[in-house]
Chains A and B, each alone.
Chain A
Amino acid sequence: MIAEGGLAALWIAAALALVQLTLGWGAARSGSEELITAVRRIAIAQGVLAALAFGILILLFLNSDMSVLLVATNSHSAKPLLYKFAGAWGNHEGSMLLWVTVLAVAGACVALFERRLPGKTLAATLGAQAAMALGFYAFIVFASNPFLRIDPPPPDGQGLNPLLQDPGLAFHPPALYFGYVGLSVAFSFAVGALVMRDVGPAFARAMRPWVLAAWIFLTIGITAGSYWAYYELGWGGWWFWDPVENASLMPWLAATALLHSVTVLATRDGLRAWTLMLALVAFAMSMLGTFLVRSGILVSVHAFAVDPTRGSFILALLGIYIGGALALFGARVGTIRQGSTFQLVSREGALVLNNLLLSVLLGIVFIGTLYPLVAQAMGQQLSIGPPFFNKAGIPVTLVLIVATMAGPLLKWRKDKWSELGRKMLVPAAAAITVTVMLLVVAPGISLNATLGLIAAGALAVASLVPLWKRNLRRTPMHIYGMVVAHLGVAVSIAGMASDAAFTQERLAAVRVGEVVTVGPFEAKLAEVRPTLGQNWSAVEAVLIVRKGDGKPFEINPQQRFFTDPVTTTSEAAIQTLWDGQLYTVIGAGEGSGKDARWQIRLWWKPFVTFIWFGGFLIAFGALLALVGRVRRERRSEEAYE
């Protein structure tokens, strides 16, 4: 009965979304206070019901209710509790239900907390949010119902893709989804604003926290996803320019641009049309990403749930919502008065440059991701891969870093080149210092890595400059947020460049007792032994590693064998030291007994951890900005009342 309850909740939520759309339309036209209040309440009820349906799905997974098809095909009674829990969204149907739940709950939150927008605009926004939810409800109940029963139920179930049985991955997709769908709120705000022709600082201030929140989740999701791919896929890299990875990067780039342009709109009432466009593009990228991942039309190393019929459903939704919104944009944007103007050398100018460069980056990733599709339309299947992305993307990123340094040092509206030049002396000095250090310590590294390290050093210093000569106790929290986030970018770039410049790798076939060296490490294969987990068996290497004269430590890479379904995964073992990570993988064995040789791969990756540490710093900075902004708005509201 529980599963049927979930389905019922979903249907009612869908019906409420329809009512919300209709009443939202009416309220936006008439402006009736009663209607607006009704729309708010319906949005809240819809959010609660969707959350209830998702809660029920989690309950079914926790109970291992094998009479539900989805549980039977994606869970196993012997699976650890955490993965039963995560199994609820580690599949197509569950993740779509999570998607619509986040969409509905986000709408409910807007209805609950949004007090700054005029009632009519709010009603239009909630109507747009309901229209989107409606499409996804239809998708779920007609094409991917998670509550379908199976008769007779299987005794144990089939398990979850072992690659997904990892604590990192249990929480990485929800984080990304919160980000993707969080951008739907910005999208709905833009649609609402276009419908009501009401674009200005108030609208930007209302939208900003939502963009920030979505961006925080996206940043965390991408960072966690990159680390997951790094340690779980066992190939020692942290970014593959895979379509699935790009699918999360594209909305992030658009949202990053949006985050900066919405600030221009909120503070200076500039960039009106551009900000609206970015809000539409950011969510369009989220949907496109979901489509690329779900339809499987591109070859990916992370091909999970792939189904062309479902792909066409998402594609149809993409066409209706994004096409519709862009048509609305075309029809309405001409009637939105132009905002205020500014000089080239100004904070706004730097932010426009930032936006343009981010758009170029987005364009590069977009073209690189979709190019194989163009080729496919002409009868070929191929990929263009990292050489393209690195060659095209790195120079743009380096210029973007310079813009990131300059932006916070400039005054709003109007500044002088000479002033900027004077302030840029500090990061320039840092750049020169790093250059000299690199020439002395590491002369042979690649140009890109050298430039990356120089840029990281200069940006790290530049990001702290805005705090210079400020009363630190009275500095607003969002300034700290910006400082921390920009510092995080510097840290991340330092990690990437360091990984590219200094990584050392060794692959060897070794007998037990033999020693392999990589970088400053000597690793002795002491033993290869079998070992057992809750739902897997494995062979495990015992590597005794010593760095110079240091204390030896043990490290245990594994090859795991899962029975339900039959899969082998290689579990890298990683030793994190203060100055980097030693990454070890055990591969196939050859021969038997004393002569058996095992393939051992070792990487020494100096400061590679900076990549992800920087990512979390960026997210933390954004969190500071969010909290700071919300508190400040609340205070000014109280003063007003």
Chain B
Amino acid sequence: MRRLLIWAPLALFVLVFGLVASGLFAPGERAVKSAMIGQPAPAFTLPALLPGKPGVDSKTFADGKPRLVNVFASWCGPCIAEAPQLMKMREMGIEIVGIATADTPEAMLGFLTRNGDPFTAIGDDRNRKVQFAFGSAGVPETFVIDGKGKVTYQHIGYVGPQDMPKLLEALAAAR
């Protein structure tokens, strides 16, 4: 037991070192296939986070229009990085619904002022229930939902310029 304890720090260090080294040399490309794909989106209603911007009701997802559901937060660094891509998609006429996790109206207002507002609706998911129902633990995550309310594509992590073609393709397929 004592011997194990003595060598534990070194073992832990080797683990972390390997992790950090892999982060440096092999920026990961292996996407995880989600269990949500092909499933109907979880049923929920979220109140509006900001005045003048509606909240989100999953019933509206079955209106025949495909859309993006973006799980995000004002405190999230990568969300700033993906903002330009979301703005571009908004300009293309794609509907983007935001689920703001663990956020406050004040912080969100600041975030949208700085980074632009691509959302037609933002739901207040303060206790992160809906986020977890979507099977998401970190932010940002983006889901493509087809006109019948089914999840057809999941993108984990930030949407970079390199991810745009795939997302647009998924949206076209959901039409």
Q: Would B75 and A312 count as touching, CB distance under 8 A?
A: no
A598-610 Cβ-contact flags toward B at 8 Å (1 or 0):
0101000000000
Q: Is A380 an interface residue (CB 8 A)?
A: yes
Among candidates B30, B110, B156, residue contacting A507 with C-beta atoms closer than 8 Å:
B110
Q: Would B30 and A379 count as touching, CB distance under 8 A?
A: yes
Q: Would B138 and A384 count as touching, CB distance under 8 A?
A: yes
| Chain A residue at minimum C-beta to C-beta distance from B110 | A235
Q: Would B23 and A507 count as touching, CB distance under 8 A?
A: no
Q: Would A277 and B9 count as touching, CB distance under 8 A?
A: yes
Q: Is A378 an interface residue (CB 8 A)?
A: yes
Nearest chain A CB to B92's CB is how many angstroms away?
Answer: 23
| Chain A residue at minimum C-beta to C-beta distance from B3 | A334
Q: Which of B19, B106, B140 has the most CB of A within 10 A?
A: B106
- A378 touching B30 in the complex, CB below 8 Å, given contacts A235-B110, A330-B10, A507-B113: yes
Q: Which of B38-46, B76-84, B165-173 contacts A (4 or more CB under 8 A)?
A: B76-84
Q: Would A382 and B78 count as touching, CB distance under 8 A?
A: yes
Within 8 A of A (CB), among B152-175: 156-158, 160
CA distance A387 to B160 in the complex (A): 24
Q: Would A377 and B7 count as touching, CB distance under 8 A?
A: no
Contact residue range for chain A? 35 or more
Q: Is B62 an interface residue (CB 8 A)?
A: no
| Chain B residue at minimum C-beta to C-beta distance from A386 | B75
Nearest chain A CB to B116's CB is how many angstroms away?
Answer: 11
Within 8 A of B (CB), among A497-523: 505, 507
Q: Is A223 an interface residue (CB 8 A)?
A: no
- A315 touching B28 in the complex, CB below 8 Å, given contacts A326-B10, A375-B138, A507-B113: no
Q: Is A412 an interface residue (CB 8 A)?
A: no
CA distance A384 to B14 in the complex (A): 24
Q: Is A552 an interface residue (CB 8 A)?
A: no
Q: Would A308 and B24 count as touching, CB distance under 8 A?
A: yes
CA distance A385 to B13 in the complex (A): 24
List the interface of chain A (C-beta within 8 A of B).
Answer: 235-236, 240-242, 277, 280-281, 284, 288, 291, 295, 297, 299-301, 308, 311-312, 315, 318-319, 322-323, 326-327, 329-330, 333-334, 370-387, 505, 507, 587, 599, 601
List the interface of chain B (C-beta within 8 A of A).
Answer: 2-3, 6-7, 9-10, 13-14, 16-17, 19-32, 73, 75-81, 101-102, 106, 109-110, 113-114, 128, 137-141, 156-158, 160
30 contacts between A and B (CB under 8 A): A242-B77, A297-B20, A299-B158, A300-B77, A319-B17, A330-B6, A330-B7, A330-B9, A334-B2, A373-B20, A375-B156, A377-B23, A377-B26, A378-B30, A379-B28, A380-B156, A380-B157, A381-B157, A382-B139, A382-B158, A383-B77, A383-B138, A385-B73, A385-B76, A385-B77, A387-B73, A507-B106, A507-B109, A587-B113, A601-B110
